[in-house]
């Protein structure tokens, strides 16, 4: 139990948090290079106890220099905004400080998590699926690949991969890097993760996939996993699930959908076509902290085979923790983790607050804004759309006639850095092929068309300013 003076301190800090949320600031300056601007370096020594007034000072400094990811001018990552219900769920989870390994430690949280997994499984199209919350999309993709390995080589759980055919996984060349890491972690190695070429719009080329699988078999190796992406990190492209499913069925290969970014479109009647045939997959990663606006981290991995996670993860001689009477409710039996935070509560409270209908409206709103941003690029005489807008990623490049074509990439980075240094907006850049483009992400539920207008006004103003500076 906290002491009386600690309770008073907590009340003061909660007041600071409310003030922080009530007065949003950009704070996007100088993030490109390390500086002592936060002024916390002198406070890093941990040897001696620190008085509460000094802790208060540290909190003030942290909040004053924190990057405002809740700002409507933050377009930098695949997440943004603030969730009141998510915050409350996070706060309660921390205050109660339970872990998700046994039912007796977290009875209500266990029921909530199982209910949410069932709901998300049904949205994917699994009639009897199962899953678990995990520490991010990368972890979800790892478990998916591990599940595929177990499916084809179940003895690998006890005997490893000795004396087995070389396992080969296939993902698109625009997939998330976590698949490569997963290859390392499950013991097949980087060289066994094959990058399938994409078409001009960033979708996996299914003809190339089939050729690569056939070549793998001819070489005496074993194709075991295909990772389709539902919303690529740069373009927001959705791989053709149905066509990929046909190929996976033909060769009896595990199909995983990385829906870390695009999974929530399943909540929208208007946009769920992007994940048509998702029910044909074997596993699905879903990050709720992205398009659903839940605080980091909130991710689920869902499998069609309800028994597989237990078969993979359950270990003998763990009666010091797990007891037979709670076999289906001790969620630690199904997870790679033992200690695990209650991430489901913040999602549950937010979903209860919005409902399916509320989430659908908000997701549709984001897509409408993304189309509006696309139109701003198309209408501009100085901006060029680099890839068609399929979801919430707008990739464009400034192409001023005053500069040579081979100067556009560097100029793009200069524009981005100038915007950030001025503290106006924060946006990222990425490469599509050899073209460096601005990657504008629309994901904050509070954003409106006038926010988009302001962004493009500032961007074109920055272009003019940099060009004038060059002339001088």
Q: Are residues 384 and 336 in the same domain?
A: no
Ranges 44-58, 128-142, 183-197: which has the least confidence:
44-58
- Neighbour-count burial of 273, counting CB atoms closer than 10 A to its CB (0-12 exposed, 13-18 middle, 19+ buried): exposed
Q: Note whether residue 420 is domain-resident.
A: yes
Number of domains in the chain: 2
78 inside domain: no
Segment among 98-107, 218-227, 310-319 with least mean pLDDT: 310-319
For the cut 70, the answer to whether the pLDDT of residue 472 exceeds it is: no
Q: Is residue 315 part of a domain?
A: yes
Q: In terms of domains, do 249 and 304 share one? A: yes
Q: What is the mean pLDDT of residues 332-351?
A: 93
Range of the domain at 313: 99-341
291 lies in the same domain as 331: yes
User: What per-residue confidence (pLDDT) applies to 37?
Assistant: 55
- The reply to whether 90 falls in a domain is no
Which residues make Cβ contacts (< 8 Å) with residue 337, sequence separation at least 6? 101, 134, 135
pLDDT, mean of residues 199-224: 98
∠ CA 407-411-416, nearest 5°, is 160
Q: What is the mean pLDDT of residues 356-371?
A: 98
pLDDT at position 234: 98
Q: How confident is the model at residue 277 (pLDDT cuts 50, 70, 90)?
A: very high
Q: pLDDT of 123-148, one tens digit each?
A: 999 999 999 999 999 999 999 999 99
Is the per-residue pLDDT at 430 higher than 90?
A: yes
| Structural domain contains residue 251 | yes
Decide if 55 is inside a domain: no
Distance CA 102, CA 121 (A): 22
CATH number at residue 374: 3.90.1150.170
Closest listed residue to residue 216, CA positions, set 173, 262, 247: 247
Tens digit of each residue's pLDDT (9 = 90 or more) over 382-425:
999 999 999 999 999 999 999 999 999 999 999 999 998 888 89
Q: What mean pLDDT is reported for the chain? A: 92
Q: Are residues 287 and 382 in the same domain?
A: no
Q: Are residues 264 and 357 in the same domain?
A: no
Q: How far apart are CA 245 and CA 223, in angstroms?
A: 14
| Order of strands across the sheet that contains 130-134 | 130-134, 299-303, 283-287, 254-259, 222-229, 167-172, 193-196
In the prediction, which pLDDT does 38 show? 52
Please report which confidence band the pLDDT of residue 297 belongs to, taking 50, 70 and 90 as the band edges: very high
- Of 341, 362, 382, the one marking the end of a domain is 341
Of 77-81, 451-455, 465-469, the poorest mean pLDDT is in: 465-469
The pLDDT value given to residue 27: 66
Q: What's residue 34's pLDDT?
A: 47
Task: Give strand pairing partners of 300.
Answer: 133, 286
Mean pLDDT over 283-305 rounds to 97
Choice between 196 and 49, residue whose per-residue pLDDT is larger: 196
| Co-location of 313 and 365 in the same domain | no
Is 408 in the same domain as 336? Answer: no
Q: Are residues 253 and 111 in the same domain?
A: yes
At 25 the pLDDT is: 67
Assess whether 367 and 229 both reside in one domain: no
Does the pLDDT at position 362 exceed 80?
yes
CATH of the domain at 212: 3.40.640.10
Contact assessment for residue 203 and residue 174, using Cβ atoms and an 8 Å cutoff: no
Mean pLDDT of 239-258: 98
pTM for the complete prediction?
0.95
- 192 and 334 belong to one structural domain: yes
Look at residues 341, 375, 394 and tell me which one is the last residue of a structural domain.
341
Nearest CA to 266 among 445, 81, 125, 132?
125
Residue after which a domain boundary falls, among 297, 315, 341: 341
**Do 286 and 355 reside in the same domain of the chain?**
no
Cis peptide bond prior to 31, omega within 30° of 0? no
Q: For residue 40, is it within any domain? A: no
- Residue 149 within a domain: yes
Residues 301 and 370 in one domain: no
């Amino acid at each position: 139990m906290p002491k009386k003076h600690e309770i008073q301190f907590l009340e003061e800090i909660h007041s600071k948090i409310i003030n922080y949320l009530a007065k949003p600031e950009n704070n996007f300056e100088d993030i490109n290079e390390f500086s002592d601007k936060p002024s916390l370096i002198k406070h890093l020594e941990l040897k001696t106890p620190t008085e509460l007034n000094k802790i208060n000072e540290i909190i003030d400094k942290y909040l004053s220099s924190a990057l405002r990811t809740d700002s409507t001018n933050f377009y930098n990552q695949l997440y943004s905004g603030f969730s009141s219900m998510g915050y409350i769920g996070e706060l309660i989870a921390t205050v109660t400080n339970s872990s998700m390994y046994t039912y007796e430690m977290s009875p209500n949280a266990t029921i909530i998590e199982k209910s949410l997994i069932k709901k998300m499984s049904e949205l994917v199209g699994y009639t009897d699926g199962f899953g678990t919350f995990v520490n991010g999309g990368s972890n979800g993709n790892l478990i998916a690949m591990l599940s595929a390995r177990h499916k084809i080589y179940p003895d690998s759980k006890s005997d490893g991969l000795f004396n087995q055919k070389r396992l080969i996984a296939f993902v698109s060349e625009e997939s998330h890097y976590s698949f490569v890491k997963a290859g390392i972690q499950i013991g097949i190695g980087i060289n066994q993760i094959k990058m399938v070429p994409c078409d001009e719009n960033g979708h996996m080329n299914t003809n190339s996939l089939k050729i690569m699988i056939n070549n793998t078999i001819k070489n005496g190796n074993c194709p075991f996993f295909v990772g389709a992406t539902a919303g690529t990190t740069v373009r927001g492209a959705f791989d053709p699930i149905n066509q990929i499913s046909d190929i996976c069925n033909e060769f009896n290969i595990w199909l995983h959908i990385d829906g870390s970014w695009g999974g929530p479109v399943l909540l929208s009647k208007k946009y769920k076509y992007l994940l048509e045939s998702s029910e044909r997959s074997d596993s699905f990663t879903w990050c709720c902290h992205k398009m659903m606006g839940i605080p980091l981290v909130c991710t689920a991995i869902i499998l069609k085979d309800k028994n597989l996670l237990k078969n993979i993860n359950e270990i003998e001689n763990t009666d010091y923790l797990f007891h037979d009477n709670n076999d289906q409710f001790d969620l630690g039996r199904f997870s790679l983790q033992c200690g695990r935070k209650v991430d489901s509560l913040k999602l549950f409270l937010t979903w209860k607050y919005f409902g399916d209908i509320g989430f659908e409206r908000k997701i549709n709103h984001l897509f409408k804004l993304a189309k509006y941003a696309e139109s701003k690029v198309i209408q501009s005489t100085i901006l060029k759309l680099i890839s068609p807008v399929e979801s919430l990623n707008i990739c464009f490049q400034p192409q001023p006639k005053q500069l040579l074509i081979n100067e556009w990439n560097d100029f793009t980075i200069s524009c981005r850095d100038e915007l950030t240094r001025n503290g106006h907006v924060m946006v990222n850049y990425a490469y599509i092929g050899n073209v460096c483009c601005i990657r504008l992400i629309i994901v904050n539920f509070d954003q409106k068309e006038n926010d988009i207008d302001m962004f493009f006004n500032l961007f074109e103003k920055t272009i003019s300013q940099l060009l004038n500076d060059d002339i001088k």
